[in-house]
Amino acid sequence: MPQLDLPEPEDRADPFCPYFGTCGGCTLQHFGPASYAALKAGLIEDALRHAHVMAELQPMISAHGDGRRRATLHARGKAVGYMRARSHDLLDIASCPILVPALTQRAVTLTHPIAATVGDCDVAYTATDTGLDVAIKTERKFKTERLTLLAQRSANVARMSLNGQTIIETRAPAVRMGKATVEIPIASFLQATAEAEAVLARLVLEGVGAAKSVADLFCGMGPFSLRLAERAKVYAADSDRPALAALQKAVKHTQGLKPVTAQFRDLFREPLVPVELAPYDAVVFDPPRAGAEAQSRELAKSKVKTVVAVSCEPRTFARDAAILVAGGYRLETVTPVDQFAWSTHVEVVGVFRR
């Protein structure tokens, strides 16, 4: 999403980060609570209005939790940090206050010796229940013995990888999803905060209601599938093979779940068609920013009673909502979820009924 030209907030707050105004992130720190909520709601309302979809928004749910459990830091020369506002220049930082405590300072301090070893690089951190997952990307080629030694000496590093290949794994990086424990593949998608995952899952479960058979499309590692399977039969589809493998392994090792069928499928090119959708009482989809246009068109032709759409991009959510409404669905609820604190991004969950 391009950076917005922000309005002047009617109520103001004191920015809490020393890098506010120079760092390209967290641009809403000076917004007071009312202005902050209004701006986030306005992103969704404007998108729906543009798509000619009528809906009243529920109050926004804060899902900041303990902070973001994922972050990517850049290392250029001796500098480590994020990009400056409206710039491709790097801002050197000492810590990041919006991250979970395990990453607030640790991500910066660990990136420095990594960069000293491999040179300019990008390092993606994920704080999991079993330790840090550290994924390094660099264009340089070199032997990895020094990185292996660094990982061994670094406290709380569960896995370190370089350009998608594991260097060392002392224990599998894993997170809880409902009853299940899921081992995280390298570079797989995970919601930015644990609180947001829990909130989104709760809204999905509430939207699906008493459905006995559910299709979870763009399912990833199964944050919805695994929770849905505690009470319904689930078909899960995605084009991320490692994520599907992680989901299948979690299902295999979790007791008390109803059957979960996981299938590789490119839902952009090959959406489920009405005859394939017929067995399901409800469909859930949580696509990337591009949305689920092709799948929405097939749902609009189907007889599925309930659709729950989760989106991190209000504009493509609104486009897909317009397709579903034109196909006979009623947009029952729209709930903003504030996962990306102090940014101009907002998550949205819509429940559609025939």
Which domains, and CATH codes, for the chain? 45-64+193-353 (3.40.50.150), 70-174 (2.40.50.1070)
User: Could you tell me which residues come within 8 angstroms of residue 62 by beta carbon, excluding any fewer than 6 positions away?
Assistant: 338
Q: What is the pLDDT of residue 263?
A: 98
pLDDT in tens, the chain (354 residues): 445 667 788 898 999 999 999 999 999 999 999 999 999 999 999 999 999 999 999 999 999 999 999 999 999 999 999 999 888 899 999 999 999 999 999 999 999 999 999 999 999 999 999 999 999 999 887 778 888 888 888 889 999 999 999 999 999 999 999 999 999 999 889 999 999 999 999 999 999 999 999 999 999 999 999 999 999 999 999 999 999 999 999 999 999 999 999 999 999 999 999 999 999 999 999 999 999 999 999 999 999 999 999 999 999 999 999 999 999 999 999 999 999 999 999 999 999 999
26 included as an active-site residue: no
Given a contact cutoff of 8 angstroms between Cβ atoms, the answer to whether 186 and 123 are in contact is: no
Which pLDDT does position 4 carry in this prediction?
61
Beta-carbon contacts of residue 17 (< 8 Å; ≥ 6 apart): 23, 26, 29, 96, 97, 98
What is the model's pLDDT at position 1?
Answer: 42
Q: What is the pTM of this model?
A: 0.94
**What per-residue confidence (pLDDT) applies to 9?**
83
The pLDDT score that the predictor gives to residue 49 is: 97
Which of 23, 26, 121, 312 is the catalytic position? 312
Q: Report the distance separating Cα 310 and Cα 225, nearest Å.
A: 13
Provide the 10 A C-beta neighbour count for residue 103: 23
User: Which residues make Cβ contacts (< 8 Å) with residue 211, sequence separation at least 6?
Assistant: 232, 280, 281, 282, 305, 306
